[in-house]
Chains A and B, each alone.
Chain A
Amino acid sequence: MKDNSAFLKGMRDGLPIGLGYFAVSFSLGIIAKKGGLSPLLGFFSSLFTRASAGEYAGYSLIAAGASFWEMFIISVITNARYLLMNCALTQKFEESTKMIKRLLVGMCCTDEIFGISIAWPGKLKPKYTFGATVVAGPMWALGTALGIIAGSALPLRYVSALSVALYGMFLAIIIPPAKKDKAVTACVIAGFLFSYLFSVTPLLKEISSGTRTIILTIAISTVISLIKPVKVKEEEVAKNE
């Protein structure tokens, strides 16, 4: 596939992501307003951060008048899953990919952009990730700005319906590979099950959702890797495609 077509494909796949973002970032805007952000500041801070849980925590801390240290520590914790995700991403690059492109791809990675980038067949074309980001990023930022302006003007029913768009996208990313690979099926079922158990069990349910994601990701991935390590040969085949 030529480089430009990878960029265009990225833009196309970025559109549903952007639409899904809209509802989430709109609700972020409502919180950002409590922190005293103008629509313009909301737009740019959201454009450069693009992290749902991270921004939710960040804007809440501003509204609460927290210390700068708290802002730093909470930003690390709420975004720590990107450490894991981008470790996985390091293995998707052609070895010849320049460092600057690797860093830019890394900065582009939200949960969803990471999801479609890792699902790209064979080695990743950075332009695919960039294409998705130039479409989805501004929509995310615009949602935040509009949330600040319009506040709670949108009827709750619409917000409620829009808010599952993101999860629909997650499902479209994880279900097709789960259909083909039993180990991935196990990942998905274990993920659903333990995440649910953590949310209802006393004490465990006090753990924030960001931390829960980290703990369960490490634990479940470790167990399944030990039971069913990937065949190294398949990696070689993918490389030659």
Chain B
Amino acid sequence: MSDSLKLFIYLAIMILTTNGVRVLPLTLIRKPIKNRFIQSFLYYVPYVTLAVMTFPAIMEATQSPIAGLIALVAGVLAAFFGLGLLPVSIICCLVVFICETFLV
């Protein structure tokens, strides 16, 4: 098998599998779920997932873990006081940039 054919197959598998996983629940569940436990579970899932993915990953993404931690605190405060997606993101980036001037 040629290398470029092999590369195409790899990428096709990656694309089809990823999107297959995404659409599977949507083909299986079409009606509103009445069960209170499942309703609650699905309501809480996104918050837990995003929280789990944010920390400690934010400390591993930066050169200095402390800069990541300070960015986390700054981001939580900014979001707590009602700032939107873009301002909160920019604040986190700036905090890391400034902190790493001193920390790295």
Q: Which residues of A contact B (CB under 8 A)?
A: 13, 15-17, 19-20, 35-37, 41, 45, 48-51, 54-55, 58, 61-62, 68, 71-72, 75-76, 79-91, 95, 99, 102-103, 105-107, 109, 111, 114-116, 118, 156-158, 160-179, 183-184, 187-192, 194-196, 199, 209, 212-213, 216-217, 220-222, 224-226, 228-230, 232, 235
Contact = CB atoms under 8 A, between A and B. Distances in A.
Nearest to A42: B11
B89 A174 contact: no
B68 to A, nearest CB: 6
B21 A76 contact: yes
Nearest to B88: A172
Nearest to B32: A91
Interface SS of chain A: helix
Most B CB atoms within 10 A — which of A116, A118, A160, A184? A160
Contact of A68 (B9, B29, B41, B68): B9
Contacts of B71: 164, 167-168
A216 B18 contact: no
B79 A58 contact: no
B48 A82 contact: no
A173 B85 contact: yes
Contacts of B92: 164-165, 167-168, 171
Contacts, number: 299
A36 B3 contact: yes
Given A86-B22, A195-B55, A213-B53, A168 B45 contact: no
Nearest to A213: B52
5 contacts: A95-B32, A164-B62, A188-B51, A225-B44, A230-B43
Contacts of A157: 63, 97, 100, 104
